[in-house]
Amino acid sequence: VLPLQGKPNLTGNYAEIRPNHFHAGLDFKTDPEKNMPIYAVADGYVSRIKVSTHGYGKALYITHANGLVSVYGHQYAYNNAIKKYVETEQLKQETFEIELFPKPKELLVKQGEIVGYSGNTGDSEGPHLHFEIRDEKSEVPLNPLRFLKITDTMAPKINLIAFYEDDYTAPEIHPVLLKHNGYQDTVSVSNKFGIGVVCGDQETKYGSWNNIYKAELLLDDKSFYSHTLDSIPFDLARYVNTYCDYDVKKKQKIKIQKCFVGKNNDLPIYRTDDKKGFIYLNDTLYHKLTIKVYDFYNHSDEVSRIIKRKAATKEKPIVVQPNDCLKPFVKETDQYRINIPEKSIYTDYSCKAIFSRGTISENVPFIETLVFFGIGPSGKNYEIPFQKNCTISIQAKTKMLKYGDKLCIAEDIGNKYNYCGGSLQDGFVSTTVKNFGAYKVSLDTVAPQIKFVKPKKKKDFKEGDLILFKVSDEFSGIGKFKLTINDVFQLAEYEHKTGMVFLKLGENSPKGKVKVKLVLDDKKNNRAASELYLLIK
């Protein structure tokens, strides 16, 4: 059965392009006003419960007899039996964030049983249920449409096609125009080129634009390439940065899905020969190239173009000593170190770095700066994404050193500085970074802020009421928090989107005049505390 009642409305489907990953499941839109019941899709047992202020928020994993696991994310609450199980552990360990692995017989569930209620917890940008099906042994998320039936009446649609001379060149993007009288423009191509496609699929007429399931290329009506978005392991999901043209996505907000395989690409989605989806033309005759896309239910759209090789093909750009992207790259100087692991970049590249010490002044928290960037083989400045995080170390030689473990790295993104973690060792501040950029030695010595939210015209509290605190931190962000009443740990929740720490008073909450205390650390262990007395009836 489906995890929600009523007509499913998919706002996201499997393998959609997301930042640094492919979407691993289906997003079902839920009622923004009410918490909708969530149903177990089959018999099984609760094998994992994870409560996190980020990620999937309150998530539930049910293992089924057929070797599959169903996952339900961003829940508002669990059903009573699961809630009791989680709360007992949360109180015992004195933590809101928790991960539990119940034994097979502890929390059995039946198909169609309510296991929780829909919500918006974790990194969810609106009320929805994130639903996955994983293989139990490999933990690979599978396309859930293999197991759930969804109404799908609409065919996918191709909007643009892109021609690439190579993986590292900017594409030529063509709109898909309506054919008139069967006439089509001939496209001049080089002797080797690849194809990308901008496309989407709706399930129903007014549904969201989601991703396709499969793409196929045919030359003179002969299929020579296809890829299917069916089972992408989590540890390979970041290859989305090469599957989808990162530079074009960043600069033009267009998601081109490439139909060829670049140098560093381990995605297990392709069916092709050793030409890896690239088309090599040995003659200057006219050929027919067809791009076909499919949704899961085999509805399709296709676009054909007559192609012809250009008379003269451009010379290859001359590259000055590029780094092999399949090998690691290390650069060490007295001021900085850069360590790019093997297979971190998708094509060969060169890495440039500029270090500046700047002028010292008491008011400027950022002094030492390392700017490092990649240059693609074409020599042009492209947005180059990472497959793996890189380690950078910047020497802190100035007055910064005295701040010790409060030192960290900040990324200068122009209008603001992003906290990037980091720690001091031997005079260097080191951290891992997700992309090329401008990084500075920085510090966080400022404690978070806590503000008790006083309910309007209310003197006392009772069961069911919320005790609310608005919390914020300027730089590194909220780390640990602990709320106590009369020095006894209470199961308060933290929601990062609203910056709220809140406790819902239950029947077992202390009564009378009580001391409520919230202790809050940021990620650089700067601590804030707030204490107040309340009357609970």
Q: What is the CA radius of gyration of the chain?
A: 27
Kindly tell me which of 124 and 264 has the beta carbon lying closer to Zn ion. Answer: 124
Min dist. Cβ of residue 111 to Zn ion (A): 23
Min dist. Cβ of residue 152 to Zn ion (A): 18
Q: Which stretch binds Zn ion (CB under 5 A): 130-138, 267-275, 279-287, 457-465?
A: 130-138
Interatomic CA distance for residues 490 and 459, integer angstroms: 21
Kindly tell me which of 27 and 473 has the beta carbon lying closer to Zn ion. Answer: 27
Kindly tell me which of 75 and 509 has the beta carbon lying closer to Zn ion. Answer: 75
Kindly tell me which of 25 and 277 has the beta carbon lying closer to Zn ion. Answer: 25
Residue closest to 159 by CA, chosen among 120, 199, 125? 199
Contact string (CB under 5 A) for Zn ion, positions 410-429, x = contact: --------------------
Min dist. Cβ of residue 263 to Zn ion (A): 30
Interatomic CA distance for residues 15 and 211, integer angstroms: 7
Q: How many residues bind Zn ion (CB under 5 A)?
A: 2
Residue closest to 134 by CA, chosen among 267, 289, 273, 25? 25
Q: Are 321 and 236 in contact (CB under 8 A)?
A: no
Min dist. Cβ of residue 266 to Zn ion (A): 23
Which residues partner with 370 through β-bridges? 355, 439
SS3 444: coil
- Structure tokens that stand for 156 in this block: 């996918």
Residue closest to 211 by CA, chosen among 140, 152, 295? 295
Q: Which stretch binds Zn ion (CB under 5 A): 24-32, 38-46, 83-91, 205-213?
A: 24-32
Kindly tell me which of 29 and 130 has the beta carbon lying closer to Zn ion. Answer: 130
Kindly tell me which of 50 and 130 has the beta carbon lying closer to Zn ion. Answer: 130
- Structure tokens that stand for 49 in this block: 């419960």
Q: Are 507 and 464 in contact (CB under 8 A)?
A: no
Kindly tell me which of 27 and 203 has the beta carbon lying closer to Zn ion. Answer: 27
Min dist. Cβ of residue 289 to Zn ion (A): 35
Strand locations in 326-459, DSSP E? Answer: 329-332, 336-340, 350-356, 369-375, 390-395, 407-412, 417-419, 423-425, 428-433, 437-443, 449-452
Kindly tell me which of 129 and 505 has the beta carbon lying closer to Zn ion. Answer: 129
Q: Is 132 a residue that touches Zn ion (CB under 5 A)?
A: no
Kindly tell me which of 50 and 263 has the beta carbon lying closer to Zn ion. Answer: 50
Min dist. Cβ of residue 233 to Zn ion (A): 17
With the C-alpha atoms ordered 15, 17, 20, 25, is the resulting torsion angle positive or negative?
negative
Element (H, E) at 242: helix 240-243
Kindly tell me which of 22 and 436 has the beta carbon lying closer to Zn ion. Answer: 22
Q: Which stretch binds Zn ion (CB under 5 A): 26-34, 224-232, 303-311, 378-386?
A: 26-34
Contact string (CB under 5 A) for Zn ion, positions 262-291, x = contact: ------------------------------
Which residues partner with 51 through β-bridges? 58, 98
Q: Are 444 and 476 in contact (CB under 8 A)?
A: yes
Contact string (CB under 5 A) for Zn ion, positions 27-46, x = contact: x-------------------
Min dist. Cβ of residue 74 to Zn ion (A): 8
Min dist. Cβ of residue 388 to Zn ion (A): 24
With the C-alpha atoms ordered 342, 346, 348, 349, is the resulting torsion angle positive or negative?
negative
Q: Is 130 a residue that touches Zn ion (CB under 5 A)?
A: yes
Min dist. Cβ of residue 30 to Zn ion (A): 12
Interatomic CA distance for residues 429 and 330, integer angstroms: 17
Q: Which stretch binds Zn ion (CB under 5 A): 21-29, 285-293, 296-304, 400-408?
A: 21-29
Kindly tell me which of 27 and 201 has the beta carbon lying closer to Zn ion. Answer: 27
Min dist. Cβ of residue 370 to Zn ion (A): 35
Q: Are 452 and 469 in contact (CB under 8 A)?
A: yes
SS3 55: coil
Q: Which stretch binds Zn ion (CB under 5 A): 19-27, 97-105, 306-314, 485-493?
A: 19-27
Min dist. Cβ of residue 429 to Zn ion (A): 35
Q: Which stretch binds Zn ion (CB under 5 A): 28-36, 44-52, 126-134, 438-446?
A: 126-134
Interatomic CA distance for residues 51 and 266, integer angstroms: 32
Interatomic CA distance for residues 397 and 369, integer angstroms: 12
Which residue's Cβ lies closest to Zn ion? 130
Interatomic CA distance for residues 155 and 460, integer angstroms: 58
Q: Which stretch binds Zn ion (CB under 5 A): 63-71, 123-131, 225-233, 358-366?
A: 123-131
Q: Is 295 a residue that touches Zn ion (CB under 5 A)?
A: no
What does residue 214 show for φ and ψ, rounded to 5 degrees? Answer: -150, 145
Q: How many Cβ atoms from other residues are within 10 Å of residue 431's Cβ?
A: 20
Q: Which stretch binds Zn ion (CB under 5 A): 25-33, 135-143, 183-191, 414-422?
A: 25-33
SS3 38: strand
In the chain the first and final C-alpha atoms are separated, in Å, by 44
Min dist. Cβ of residue 418 to Zn ion (A): 24
Q: Which stretch binds Zn ion (CB under 5 A): 128-136, 214-222, 280-288, 420-428?
A: 128-136
Kindly tell me which of 12 and 374 has the beta carbon lying closer to Zn ion. Answer: 12
Kindly tell me which of 53 and 159 has the beta carbon lying closer to Zn ion. Answer: 53
Strands 423-425 vs 300-309: parallel, antiparallel or unpaired = unpaired
Element (H, E) at 214: strand 214-219
Kindly tell me which of 144 and 374 has the beta carbon lying closer to Zn ion. Answer: 144
Min dist. Cβ of residue 150 to Zn ion (A): 15
Min dist. Cβ of residue 210 to Zn ion (A): 11
Q: Are 369 and 358 in contact (CB under 8 A)?
A: yes
User: Contact residues for Zn ion (CB under 5 A)?
Assistant: 27, 130
